[in-house]
């Protein structure tokens, strides 16, 4: 039996951060990872997807060069396989950085099984920890339909080195839309089938509709209110919509209908319980029903984003008692981002809307398709949320996040804050000023 101050199960963003922080504090730490360090985000999620999105963005820039008086002589060869290879190189570099971060941590490769008495078994090793953090993440959720075996998960799609002519994407959430945006940029025919009345359920409906409009202009086809019922061996997707049955013919089908937690064995024996959604149940300190055992990241289902897992790590390791608003970004072309509250979330909330076309930087760069919504409380004019669709929406949301966490009022944002001109950040000030007028 090997004794540790902390045992971390899972080497993703939350897990490796927790292990590194504890080790830097002089705690003896063990980290157990059954696959590759870095977790889903680094190896099969955020990072490779963003690499492909970056390639698609450059391809779009080349295709749009004529509008800036630039002539591209000869044919433009878009090698998707080369873009995937570049992503692999980026992943390898970042994984090396993670390994360096864990230089003072004992790493065990294998499947972890929890037992009673704060014991974890991995292979032939029996580890006992004063504290245990479960950070095992999530995996693609299956779609219970006939022919599901003819679809690819997000993990499997990211391994593809070629794009066929026609692609069907089941699911209009973040993952499905990012893939669809990349595929369309490479000139392939792509159709997104979404069960809900609008894409990106949970995002501000007006912003989601605008994103769908922009993606449609770039070649993405959408079928909303579509309940997929089957996928044939020939990759024909059958669905029901508006009381009728229809089909989409494709060469490849991607299933992106959400994710479910990866649960280690032995939870019950360790006294860890699940909630009604099947995620590990935790309190506001991310402690499970078993004292001294914590669960962070996707496995607790609180907020399934890599940076949320990292923020939860800071709470568990005692660096902070609470963290602020958590922004989310969809890296489509153009981007879509959100932070804080939407007007539909509570009574007494209003929004000030500003189009990108009113911004000098957006006009100069040719990125004037977009809109920013600034949400504020009508009673005291405090900024409580922001949503945006358009170029660099994620960067705009970062600034809005600071304003929300600092309880900025509209007046402070509009009059006391200075933004560089010309810059997209002026959209935030313009929205605040418009609300005050």
**Residues 155-193 pLDDT 10s:** 999 999 999 999 999 999 999 999 999 999 999 999 999
| pLDDT given at position 105 | 98
Rounded to an integer, what is the distance from CA 407 to the centroid of its chain?
Answer: 25
| pLDDT given at position 73 | 81
Task: Supply the DSSP symbol for 280.
Answer: B
| pLDDT given at position 231 | 98
pLDDT tier, 71 (very low <50, low <70, confident <90, very high otherwise): confident
| pLDDT given at position 273 | 98
Are 265 and 120 in contact by the 8 Å Cβ rule? The answer is no
Residue 75 reports pLDDT greater than 90: no
Rounded to an integer, what is the distance from CA 409 to the centroid of its chain?
Answer: 29
Strand extents, DSSP E, 333-425: 335-340, 349-355, 371-377, 383-390
| pLDDT given at position 407 | 97
Structural tokens at position 34: 């059954």
When pLDDT is averaged across residues 346-375 and rounded to a whole number, the result is 97
Domain boundaries, the chain: 2-139+260-316, 148-257, 334-436
When pLDDT is averaged across residues 202-230 and rounded to a whole number, the result is 97
| pLDDT given at position 146 | 97
Looking at 74-173, list the stretches that DSSP marks H as alpha helix, in order from N- to C-terminal side: 80-101, 154-157
Mean confidence (pLDDT) of the chain: 96
| pLDDT given at position 175 | 97
365-412, pLDDT tens digit by residue?
A: 999 999 999 999 999 999 999 999 999 999 999 999 999 999 999 999
16-62, pLDDT tens digit by residue?
A: 999 999 999 999 999 999 999 999 999 999 999 999 999 999 999 99
pLDDT tier, 66 (very low <50, low <70, confident <90, very high otherwise): confident
Integer CA distances (angstroms), 285 to 130, 277, 321, 430, in order:
17, 19, 8, 38
| pLDDT given at position 292 | 98
Residue 327 reports pLDDT greater than 80: yes
Kind plus residue range of the DSSP H or E element containing 17: helix 13-24
| pLDDT given at position 50 | 96
Answer whether 2-139+260-316 and 334-436 agree in fold.
no
| pLDDT given at position 314 | 96
CA–CA separation, 195 and 199 (whole Å): 9
CATH superfamily name and code, 334-436:
FAD/NAD-linked reductase, C-terminal dimerisation domain (3.30.390.30)
| pLDDT given at position 27 | 97
When pLDDT is averaged across residues 293-318 and rounded to a whole number, the result is 97
Contacts of 76 (CB under 8 A, 6+ apart): 59, 62, 63
Active site residues: 421
CA–CA separation, 168 and 253 (whole Å): 5
CA–CA separation, 192 and 223 (whole Å): 6
CATH number for domain 2-139+260-316, candidates 3.20.20.140, 2.60.120.960, 3.50.50.60, 2.40.110.10: 3.50.50.60
CATH number for domain 148-257, candidates 3.50.50.60, 3.30.460.30, 3.10.180.10, 1.10.10.10: 3.50.50.60
| pLDDT given at position 160 | 96
Q: What is the pTM of this model?
A: 0.95
What sign has the CA pseudo-torsion 249, 252, 256, 257? positive
| pLDDT given at position 359 | 97
CA–CA separation, 24 and 16 (whole Å): 12
Kind plus residue range of the DSSP H or E element containing 207: helix 205-217
Nearest CA to 162 out of 251, 240, 102, 89 is that of: 251
CA–CA separation, 48 and 87 (whole Å): 5
């Amino acid at each position: 039996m090997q004794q540790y101050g902390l045992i971390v199960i899972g080497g993703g963003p939350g897990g490796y951060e927790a292990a590194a922080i504890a080790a830097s504090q002089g705690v003896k730490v063990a980290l157990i990872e059954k696959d590759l360090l870095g977790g889903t985000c680094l190896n099969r999620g955020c990072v490779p997807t963003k690499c492909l999105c970056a390639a698609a963005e450059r391809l779009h820039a080349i295709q749009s060069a004529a509008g800036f008086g630039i002539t591209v002589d000869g044919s433009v060869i878009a090698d998707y396989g080369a873009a995937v290879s570049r992503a692999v190189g980026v992943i390898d570099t970042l994984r090396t950085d993670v390994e360096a971060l864990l230089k003072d941590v004992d790493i065990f490769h294998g499947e972890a099984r929890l037992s009673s008495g704060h014991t974890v078994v991995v292979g032939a090793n029996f580890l006992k920890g004063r504290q245990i953090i479960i950070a095992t993440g999530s995996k693609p959720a299956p779609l219970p339909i006939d022919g599901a075996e003819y679809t690819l998960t997000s993990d499997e799609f990211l391994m593809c080195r070629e794009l066929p002519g026609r692609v069907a994407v089941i699911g209009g959430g973040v993952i499905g839309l990012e893939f669809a945006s990349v595929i369309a940029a490479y000139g392939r025919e792509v159709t997104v089938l979404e069960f809900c009345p609008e894409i990106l359920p949970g995002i501000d409906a007006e912003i989601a509709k605008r994103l769908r409009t922009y993606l449609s202009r770039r070649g993405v086809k959408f079928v909303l209110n579509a309940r997929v019922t089957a996928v044939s061996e020939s990759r024909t997707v059958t669905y029901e919509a508006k009381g009728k049955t229809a089909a989409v013919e494709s060469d490849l089908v991607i299933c992106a209908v959400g994710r479910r937690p990866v649960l280690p064995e032995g939870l019950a024996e360790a006294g860890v319980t699940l909630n009604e959604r099947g995620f590990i149940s935790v309190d506001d300190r991310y402690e499970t029903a078993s004292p001294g055992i914590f669960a962070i990241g996707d496995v607790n289902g609180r907020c399934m984003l890599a940076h949320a897992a990292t923020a939860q790590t800071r709470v568990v390791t005692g660096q902070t008692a609470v963290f602020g608003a958590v922004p989310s970004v969809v890296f489509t072309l153009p981007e879509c981002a959100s932070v804080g509250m939407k007007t539909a979330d509570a009574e007494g909330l209003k929004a000030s809307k500003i189009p990108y076309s009113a911004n000098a930087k957006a006009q100069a760069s040719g990125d004037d398709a977009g809109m920013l919504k600034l949400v504020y409380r009508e009673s005291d004019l405090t900024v409580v949320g922001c949503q945006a669709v358009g170029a660099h929406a994620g960067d705009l949301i970062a600034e809005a996040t600071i304003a929300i966490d600092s309880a900025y009022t509209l007046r402070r944002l509009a009059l006391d804050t200075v933004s560089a001109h010309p810059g997209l950040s002026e959209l935030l000030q313009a929205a605040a000023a418009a609300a005050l007028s």
